[in-house]
Amino acid sequence: MTNIILCGGSGTRLWPISRTLMPKQFVKLFDNRSLFELTQERNSSICEELYIVSNAEQYFLAIDQLEVEAKFLLEPIGRNTAPAIALACMDINSDEIVLVTPSDHLIKDKKAYQDAIQKANKLAKDDFLVTFGITPSYPETGFGYIEASKEDVKSFKEKPDLQTAKEYLEKGNYYWNSGMFCFKAGIFLEELKKHSPKIYLSCEKAYQEAISSKDTLRVKHDDMLNIPEDSIDYAVMEKSDKVKVVPSDINWSDVGSFDALYKELPKEKNGNTKNNKHISIDSKNNLIISHDRQISTIEIEDLIIIDTPDALLISKKGSSQKVKEVVNKLKQQSLELTITHTLTHRPWGTYEVLLSHDNYKIKRIIVNPNKRLSLQKHYHRNEHWIVVSGTATVTVEEEVKLIRPNESTYIKMGEIHRLENKGKIPVVLIEAQVGEYTGEDDIIRIEDDFER
């Protein structure tokens, strides 16, 4: 069995913890482990192979947290789950049974989970497309539902209103749609071709044109753009007559909101989440997340307080689904707050914004050994680099020079340049950007080791 792990999505409902360049599946929220790491651990004991479908921008995040060997399918842009799964299945033996799982779900009952996988595996061997229905514990309006008669799927239901969700819970044969699946790779492709031929044919073309290396399949941007965008539910599962469901009581959560996260984190005696940076005076049942700043609360209850270096979120518990509305408003203002943290992980290392103003920005940049940034230029800013530790190899136009600690260099607007670390220790430098615009999209890449 091969585990296809889907790493797409930006987790906007957990902003400001989760950002586009650091989505929730890679944030270490559970005993310094991420949901992506927990997914690997959970499935590596069940599946012989691991196949990760990732956005190209998040590839290096997955590599950094990878604990076992895996193959990668890299998407330049997301086209929803049906194309992602189809492209992966085209790269896998048609008779291979695949277990498709999101990377951002939490499952606590491992024994029940393994039992559910075994049941699904048996059905998949008989050429069925198997989905997993989570036994609901309360009337949830944020999930789709599966109506079932034992293992037979009667219908798929859209996210209901509260009254309908209560009716589903009372009837007992309705399950939350988990987004997990099990089937033979070839059977899924046959059903996709039958029910959504445009998706199948465009995926087939994209797969044939993809750039393949030993452990990576990289889809070209234009080919990916030509694939119709659709979910596996709409494209296949709701149309096929080969669908079965395995009811699963596995202590599952999609950790899709701060209210859901609060339920999963350890708490102290007054119901506040445990946090060494929190001083509580007569405060109860609060979700408090802060890594750097001290937070003190006095006589407050049932609040969500999320503190990051560049953004603070305060919400009533029960209202955290509205975080998405905040993110939408921020996007309308074209703020980088939805895209990245002040500390941003890149394939070559990290950069941290220390100070940002209208016409200048100060960063601390760390370049890992034997890594280099892209060969690039900027149209709207000049840059000053001061090396703090390590030795940087700097290219500016035709000149290549070494910059050592306490030495500096200057790159004029429009000059082609590159920063490289050929040494054995990280290069740490301070970068001062000065210009009319200092946004991250003012980077014209001429050559890049990471094919961005």
Contact 272, 29 (CB under 8 A): no
- The structural domain count of the chain equals 3
What mean pLDDT is reported for the chain?
94
Which residue, 206, 221, 253, sits at the end of a domain? 253
Q: Which residue type occupies 81?
A: T
Q: Is residue 336, in this structure, part of any structural domain at all?
A: no
How many Cβ atoms sit within 10 Å of the Cβ of residue 209?
A: 11
Which residues 6+ apart lie within 8 Å of 327 measured at CB? 12, 15, 338
- Domain shared by 103 and 45, yes or no: yes
In whole angstroms, give the CA distance from residue 259 to residue 183.
33
Geometric angle at alpha carbon 417, from 408 and 217, rounded to 5°: 130
Cα–Cα distances (Å) from 428 to 403, 420, 432, 436, in that order, read 11, 11, 13, 26
- Domain shared by 239 and 388, yes or no: no
- Domain shared by 127 and 173, yes or no: yes
Looking at residue 14, the DSSP 8-state letter turns out to be G
- Domain shared by 42 and 155, yes or no: yes
Q: Which residue type occupies 296?
A: S
- Domain shared by 238 and 134, yes or no: yes
Residues in the chain, how many? 452
Which residue, 226, 253, 280, sits at the end of a domain? 253
Task: Give the model's pLDDT for residue 67.
Answer: 86
Contact 235, 86 (CB under 8 A): no
- Domain shared by 81 and 158, yes or no: yes
- Domain shared by 272 and 347, yes or no: no
Structure tokens at 244: 């079965």
Q: Is residue 337, in this structure, part of any structural domain at all?
A: no
In whole angstroms, give the CA distance from residue 420 to residue 367.
7
Contact 278, 267 (CB under 8 A): no
Give mean pLDDT in consecutive 10-residue pieces for the chain, a chain of 452 residues: 90 90 92 94 94 90 90 94 97 97 95 96 97 92 91 92 92 94 98 97 97 91 96 95 96 93 96 95 97 93 96 95 93 86 90 91 96 95 96 96 95 96 96 92 89 76
pTM for the predicted model, two decimal places? 0.87
How many Cβ atoms sit within 10 Å of the Cβ of residue 315?
A: 20
How many Cβ atoms sit within 10 Å of the Cβ of residue 140?
A: 20
Which residue, 235, 253, 271, sits at the end of a domain? 253
Specify the CATH number for the domain of residue 356. Answer: 2.60.120.10
Domain with 284, as residue range(s), is: 259-322
Q: Is residue 332, in this structure, part of any structural domain at all?
A: no
Q: Which residue type occupies 98?
A: V
- Domain shared by 372 and 443, yes or no: yes
Question: What confidence tens digit (pLDDT) does each residue in 171-219 have?
Answer: 989 999 999 999 999 999 999 999 999 999 999 999 999 999 888 999 9
The DSSP H or E segment spanning 207 is helix 197-209
Q: Is residue 242, in this structure, part of any structural domain at all?
A: yes
- Domain shared by 128 and 249, yes or no: yes
Q: Is residue 411, in this structure, part of any structural domain at all?
A: yes
Q: Is residue 207, in this structure, part of any structural domain at all?
A: yes
In whole angstroms, give the CA distance from residue 225 to residue 78.
9
- Domain shared by 418 and 298, yes or no: no
DSSP string, 307-339: EETTEEEEEETT-GGGHHHHHHHHHHTT-GGGT
Residue whose token pair is 């800013």: 381
* Gyration radius of the chain's alpha carbons: 24
Specify the CATH number for the domain of residue 121. Answer: 3.90.550.10
Q: Is residue 209, in this structure, part of any structural domain at all?
A: yes
- Domain shared by 353 and 420, yes or no: yes
In whole angstroms, give the CA distance from residue 154 to residue 133.
12
Q: Is residue 9, in this structure, part of any structural domain at all?
A: yes
- Domain shared by 237 and 134, yes or no: yes
Task: Give the model's pLDDT for residue 451.
Answer: 77
Please say whether the dihedral angle defined by the alpha carbons of residues 338, 343, 344 and 345, taken in this order, is positive or negative: negative
